Amino acid sequence: MLPLTMRIFQASGIPARLRQRFAPNALRDISTLLRNTPIETIFDVGANIGQSAAALARDFPSAAIHSFEPAADSFAELTRRTAQYRNVTCHYLALSSEARSFQIVRHPSEASMHQITEAADLNGTVNGSTVDAFSTDRGIQRINFLKIDTEGHDLEVLKGAHRLLSEERIDLVEAECGINPDNTFHVPFVVLKPHLESYGYRVFRLYEQVDEWPTRERHLRRINAMFISPLTIDVNRY
């Protein structure tokens, strides 16, 4: 389903070229509003089949992009789709709050969506790590953009980035958040917001406002919220 803003533009009869130009766009905002923050390292957590990775690679061709996907079939497609981009490295790995094995299950109503659960047995499991541990192992000192889309596991990913968040070594965090209290699939915005605010982060922008599609009700189901670190705020003042 298209974001709410895009559907408003469509209904208004505005040409597609102008809709694309004026619709909220996270990557464009980073490039235009945060020019003093170089984008050199990106973590794309929950990369699925490479939709975000491809856009990130095109918009930030000099950045090192690490795409993480724990579902085997999605990872295979992610690898195939990003093969043309030299700056994308794909990792068959689940990022969470601790380093251990996890089980990946399909969403009951969306075949292309998967969720991380407790590892019940050795079949269908995938290795897990944390943002902190992975960064230490790879000698990564700073993450400029941490993008998380893990179908309800976003808070656990952030818990696994405690050290880097505490040291303000992550400039921007984008996470998928639930808005409707009846939406039990995504982590609520009211939970993620205070968690990141406790590290001094503030809300930068809101993107991808999606209505409650299962019931077709005219109110928001989820959004993508981007948070900005104290250091990034300081160096990008008006």
Q: What percent of the chain has pLDDT over 90?
A: 68
Range with lowest mean pLDDT among 57-61, 62-66, 115-119: 115-119
Q: Name the pLDDT band for 106 (thresholds 50, 70, 90).
A: low
Domains and CATH numbers, the chain: 24-92+142-235 (3.40.50.150)
The per-residue DSSP string of the chain comes to ---HHHHHHHHHT--HHHHHHHS--HHHHHHHH-TTS---EEEEES-TTSHHHHHHHHH-TTSEEEEE---HHHHHHHHHHTTT-TTEEEE--EE-SSSS-EEEEE-SS-TT-EEEEE--SSTTEE-EE-HHHHHHHHT---EEEEEE--SS-HHHHHHTTHHHHHTT-EEEEEEEEE-STT--SSPBHHHHHHHHHTTT-EEEEEEEEEEETTTTEEEEEEEEEEEE-HHHHHHT--
Each residue's pLDDT tens digit, 111-169: 455 556 555 554 568 889 999 999 999 999 999 999 999 988 999 999 999 999 999 99
Please give the model's pTM, rounded to 2 decimal places: 0.85
| Average pLDDT estimate for 209-215 | 85
